Structure 1
Amino acid sequence: MYKNFCVAIFLTIVLLGRGIVTNAADMSLRNEENPVDNKKKKDSIPIYPDLVYEYKIAELNNLTPIELEYNDRVRRYIDVYTIERREHLAKIIGLAELYFPIFEEMLDKYQLPLELKYLAIVESALDPRAISSSAAVGLWQFKINTSKMFDLEVNSYVDERCDPYKSTEAACSYLQYLYRIYNDWQLALAAYNGGPGVVRNAIERSGGKTDFWEIQPYLPAQTNGYVPAFIAVNYVMTHYEDHNIDPVPSEFIHINVDTVKINKASTFKRISEVTKIPIETLQFLNPSYKLDYIPKMKYPATLILPEDKIRIFIRNEDAIYDESVAKKDFNEVVSEAGGTNGKIKITHEVAKGEYFHKIAIKYNCTIDDIRIWNSLPTNDLNVGQKLDVWVDPQVARAIEEERTRPKQQRDSTDRFIYYTVQNGDTVWSIAEKFNCRSISELKEENDISNENDLKPGKKLKIYLNK
């Protein structure tokens, strides 16, 4: 009797949390709602009580050997995905239709928990060309030295860290290895992010504790939030509909692409000319080819194409192969300056200390490009001046990611102080002096873009290591 009463109380809380109407009069009103009201509800952002999240994550935990638990840290990451970054999550859900079948097949081959597919969302947001600030690359974010452990080819033309198939197999092999070390999936996940040595040191500093939540204070900031983010992604990818998030369909899903093997060199430009596949599509489906060129390799190279173009490619294979890379000379580069084909326009505001070369390097273009795009007769720039800049789609995505990235989620128990900048202070010296959690956090919290922003008398908010 008592158990039934508790269940009834719980369901009441859940239903109230979801905004579900339970009496007949309200139900009849709901049936008469007009489309405008329905759209408003669809556009709303539901906020649920902790008990709802705890119950749903407990349900997910029953289906996986990876310990999934709910706490305040997990809640903050759920809010990041379902409130702060809803549009971004909608795109990720669409991309999952392309990448998750690849992940699941490989995880099954290695007999690993299928829920590990969500790790790629934490790592790269399913962007195969993602590059982190520490130079980790691809869906599974391998640094170049780690990639060598798993025989991923990285050269001037090819970066297999961006190959969805080969990088996924490497990630499965690495995860399998890390689990053998710790026999605990949460520790293995932390080690995937920070490295085995980081986790081993945290265990040592904690006095030998082997529970992730107990060694958390001894982990670097990024690794500290890694497992909570992974648990949150498990939840949001299963229950996004409860948060009124509509997936943005990917142009391609796994069942409408296929692969061909080629033994000779070719360019995306030539393949596009013969098959009528846009170069942007070839780039999207084949992110491991860095210069839109497939070199002749020791083993046959893999090319991913729309399934309905495979037959056209095979019929015209001889015409497609190209033995050399067409290299432009200086005069051709200058004559093509200001091109916008296949690029996205963004606006750059000139900051203090910026000049043409610095801006051109930042956006992977040339001074001539910038001058033509903006009809500039001279090389003079003014602080605050707005410039039109055309960038590759992946650069545009990276800029947008940086712009919308939420500030680090903080614990309510975080300790901070205020400090007044003195003569001779640098960002580095202040971080060292106060044992800050990270220099990037110090700069972000206080709107410091460069050392020139650090003037004597400026008051800084500094978060301290616990």
Structure 2
Amino acid sequence: MLSNFTIFNSHKYNLNRSLTGIIIFFVAILIAQENVQSEENIQDSLKVGASRTIPGIPPVNGYPNGNGNKFVETGNRLPQLLRDVKVYLSDAVIADVHKDTLEVIYNLDRIFNLLTEADQLGEMTAEDQEEFNRYEVSLIDVYTHRLTTLQASDIAITAEQLRSEISEITEPLEVEMGLSKFTIIDDRDGHIPLIRNKKVDQFIKFFQTKGKKQFKIWLSRYGEYEVLIKTILKEHELPEELMFLAMIESGFNSKAYSRANASGMWQFIYSTGKIYGLERTWYVDERRDPVKATHAACTYLKDLYKEFDNWYLALSAYNAGSGRIHRAIRLHQTSDFWQLHSLPKETRNYLPYFLAAAIIGSSPKEYGFTIPKVSSFSYDEVKLEKSADLAVLARSAGIKMRSLQRYNPELRQSATPNKNGYVLKLPKGTKSKFTAKFNALPESQRFAPQYTVHRVRRNESLWTISRKYGVSIHDLASVNKIRNRHKIKIGQKLTIPVPGSKAALASAQSTGPSGHLKKVYTVKRGDTLGHIAQNYNTRARNIRRWNGLRYGGVIYPGQKLVLWVKQG
């Protein structure tokens, strides 16, 4: 079995037998007995002019062009999306074995960017939905339990996992408020009533025991975002307890993702986010913007409260949808949340879960917790008129790239948007330094166009166009909002995100490892990333990271690549 995995050959990585279990697990769980392509094969697939295939995964339907050639293309983008995700996860697992945390995080970010696009691909077939669900379960298990280099604070789906876990272990209690004992903790006007009963106490106990480690992480983020969120809640005249809704939804993690394809601190699905003004484009996903998403959540919650005139029902509708709550009210002939026993288990647990988090968060010392002192999320804003490279922006502000991305988690690419400008967030107090340093740069260095425009010609398909520019079909379809790849027309203008050109070269990693010199390499005919990496004593995955290349594209003659070569 292991003969298929030349990526783990001992002559290349000198891995010991203890890794065998990881490999077998990865194959069984992740791909469900599908073979994973070796790194040598992956490098060959990146050969100039080569198409991308993965052994063990059947090719998608061929698409004939006017010359009778068969191209790897289909009207359904989901299979390609899942294949891209599988390859990224493969790379993440390999990086995890080598304790390369930054590479793991980079690949996981790419995975969750792709998964959040699933609900924009149109209605799934039953087969597609089954495959998507099966894969998500496998992904979450690998992501939350098998990647050893990640800290718990980096896990973007822990909040959802914790809700699911606590739902399984809590006892099934039916609480009737008219008959059961309950304690009022806080019932002030303008606040959400906080009460304790047996169900709420179960959740409090969970947070004090098995869930304590994760709750501590949430409290540390609570300290970071408290001022920001409470200020926005006050602006919308909403109860401050709603801050704890973001806690149970995401753990205050702007990059959180759920199996329902919800994203961001407030866990908006694409359609609801769009209704409340959150855009998702090639460059940004505003569901991840802590400021815009909090304003959107406030508007949504006000609408729900107006609809139900009851915060317990409004919060339940935030989880299950208004329609389901209305049906339960009609069925039971009551608007008392605790009497709506026909609601799904997750929704019946959702309110007690929220109340437990709010009660502990409001008086942490009373329940054995402390809120650590952390820097508040405060920022300066700078308006950028054109697309700018993140590495240049970070260097101008005197901060690390990761810090810039933490302040602007909605950014999906290595550059800011190219239309209508962009308001960049910087750590408080860095605006003056940034402005002086950034404005002193020549315009050619300050701004880095990340796209070109292509007019579709006769006999062209997305596949041929993607090969011409060295981008993936999926990215090409995504940036142009194309759901069916067959439906492109002669004369149609397509926006092409261009890697490896002057634009991508400008946005390549600007600082390399210590003791390395920067070299710009021009790709020659017949080159592969593997060959280039071997010649310069590095790895293909490093070249991809340095140049923002995805693990499924192609390189082509004349393309410029940034390499970091050891001195001497």
State the TM-score, normalized to the length of structure 2.
Answer: 0.47
Tell me: CA distance 1:102–1:134, structure 2 relative to 1, closer, same or farther (3 Å): same
Determine whether 1:214 maps to 2:359. no
Residues 95, 249 of structure 1: 8 Å contact kept: no
Q: Give the residue type in structure 2 aligned to 1:313.
A: F
1:288 to 387, 410, 428: 410
Tell me: CA distance 1:168–1:340, structure 2 relative to 1, closer, same or farther (3 Å): farther
**Where does 1:102-121 land on structure 2 (aligned, <5 Å)?**
102-121=228-247
Name the structure 2 match of 1:254.
377
Deviation at 1:226, TM superposition (A): 1.1
Tell me: CA distance 1:224–1:332, structure 2 relative to 1, closer, same or farther (3 Å): farther
CA distance in 2: counterparts of 1:140 and 1:70, whole angstroms: 25
Name the structure 1 match of 2:253.
127
Q: Give the residue type in structure 1 aligned to 2:300.
A: Y
Name the structure 2 match of 1:237.
361
Q: Partner of 2:260: helix, strand, or coil?
A: coil
Tell me: CA distance 1:235–1:71, structure 2 relative to 1, closer, same or farther (3 Å): same
Tell me: CA distance 1:141–1:322, structure 2 relative to 1, closer, same or farther (3 Å): same
Deviation at 1:365, TM superposition (A): 6.4
Provide Cα deviations, 1:347-377, integer angstroms capped at 9, x if missing partner: xxxxxxxxxxxxxxxxx968xxxxxxxxxxx
Deviation at 1:150, TM superposition (A): 1.1
Deviation at 1:275, TM superposition (A): 2.8
CA distance in 2: counterparts of 1:56 and 1:204, whole angstroms: 25
CA distance in 1: counterparts of 2:413 and 2:448, whole angstroms: 15
Residues 223, 371 of structure 2: 8 Å contact kept: no
Q: Partner of 1:218: helix, strand, or coil?
A: coil
Name the structure 2 match of 1:311.
432
Q: Give the residue type in structure 1 aligned to 2:350.
A: Y
Q: Give the residue type in structure 1 aligned to 2:376.
A: I
Name the structure 2 match of 1:327.
499
2:328 to 180, 191, 202: 202
Residues 123, 140 of structure 1: 8 Å contact kept: yes
CA distance in 2: counterparts of 1:109 and 1:340, whole angstroms: 47
CA distance in 2: counterparts of 1:247 and 1:185, whole angstroms: 26
**Where does 1:330-345 land on structure 2 (aligned, <5 Å)?**
334=530, 335=533, 337-339=540-542
Residues 262, 269 of structure 2: 8 Å contact kept: yes
**Where does 1:72-83 land on structure 2 (aligned, <5 Å)?**
72-83=198-209
Q: Give the residue type in structure 1 aligned to 2:446.
A: Y
**Where does 1:7-406 land on structure 2 (aligned, <5 Å)?**
58-62=184-188, 64-206=190-332, 208-215=333-340, 217-250=341-374, 252-255=375-378, 257-298=379-420, 300-318=421-439, 319=441, 321-325=446-450, 327-328=499-500, 334=530, 335=533, 337-339=540-542
Q: Partner of 2:418: helix, strand, or coil?
A: coil
Residues 418, 449 of structure 2: 8 Å contact kept: no
Provide Cα deviations, 1:14-69, integer angstroms capped at 9, x if missing partner: xxxxxxxxxxxxxxxxxxxxxxxxxxxxxxxxxxxxxxxx9996232346542322
Tell me: CA distance 1:75–1:136, structure 2 relative to 1, closer, same or farther (3 Å): same
CA distance in 1: counterparts of 2:182 and 2:286, whole angstroms: 37
Q: Give the residue type in structure 2 aligned to 1:212.
A: F
Q: Partner of 1:241: helix, strand, or coil?
A: helix
Q: Partner of 2:363: helix, strand, or coil?
A: helix
Q: Partner of 1:303: helix, strand, or coil?
A: strand
Provide Cα deviations, 1:198-217, integer angstroms capped at 9, x if missing partner: 111111222x21111111x2
Residues 267, 293 of structure 1: 8 Å contact kept: yes
Deviation at 1:278, TM superposition (A): 0.8
CA distance in 1: counterparts of 2:254 and 2:529, whole angstroms: 28
CA distance in 1: counterparts of 2:404 and 2:182, whole angstroms: 40
CA distance in 2: counterparts of 1:305 and 1:56, whole angstroms: 46
Q: Partner of 1:316: helix, strand, or coil?
A: helix
Residues 255, 265 of structure 2: 8 Å contact kept: yes
Residues 393, 438 of structure 2: 8 Å contact kept: no
Deviation at 1:312, TM superposition (A): 1.5
CA distance in 1: counterparts of 2:314 and 2:541, whole angstroms: 48
Q: Give the residue type in structure 1 aligned to 2:377.
A: H
Q: Give the residue type in structure 2 aligned to 1:210.
A: S
Deviation at 1:119, TM superposition (A): 0.7
Q: Give the residue type in structure 1 aligned to 2:381.
A: T
Percent identity over the alignment? 27
Q: Partner of 2:429: helix, strand, or coil?
A: helix
Deviation at 1:99, TM superposition (A): 1.6
Tell me: CA distance 1:205–1:183, structure 2 relative to 1, closer, same or farther (3 Å): same
Tell me: CA distance 1:306–1:341, structure 2 relative to 1, closer, same or farther (3 Å): farther
Q: Partner of 1:173: helix, strand, or coil?
A: helix
CA distance in 2: counterparts of 1:108 and 1:271, whole angstroms: 33
Q: Partner of 2:192: helix, strand, or coil?
A: coil
Deviation at 1:73, TM superposition (A): 1.5
Deviation at 1:340, TM superposition (A): 11
Task: Give the superposed CA RMSD.
Answer: 3.0
Deviation at 1:158, TM superposition (A): 0.3
CA distance in 1: counterparts of 2:543 and 2:209, whole angstroms: 34
Provide Cα deviations, 1:191-234, integer angstroms capped at 9, x if missing partner: 1111111111111222x21111111x211222121111111111
Q: Give the residue type in structure 2 aligned to 1:274.
A: S
CA distance in 2: counterparts of 1:138 and 1:105, whole angstroms: 19
CA distance in 1: counterparts of 2:329 and 2:258, whole angstroms: 26
CA distance in 2: counterparts of 1:197 and 1:174, whole angstroms: 15
Q: Give the residue type in structure 2 aligned to 1:265.
A: S
Between 1 and 2, higher relative CO (CA 8 Å, sep ≥ 6) is seen in 2
Q: Give the residue type in structure 2 aligned to 1:82.
A: Q
Aligned pair count reads 289
Q: Which moved more, 1:126-135 or 1:236-245?
A: 236-245
Q: Give the residue type in structure 1 aligned to 2:385.
A: N
Provide Cα deviations, 1:83-116, integer angstroms capped at 9, x if missing partner: 2222222222221233222221221122111111
CA distance in 1: counterparts of 2:336 and 2:302, whole angstroms: 19
State the TM-score, normalized to the length of structure 1.
Answer: 0.57
Residues 97, 253 of structure 1: 8 Å contact kept: yes
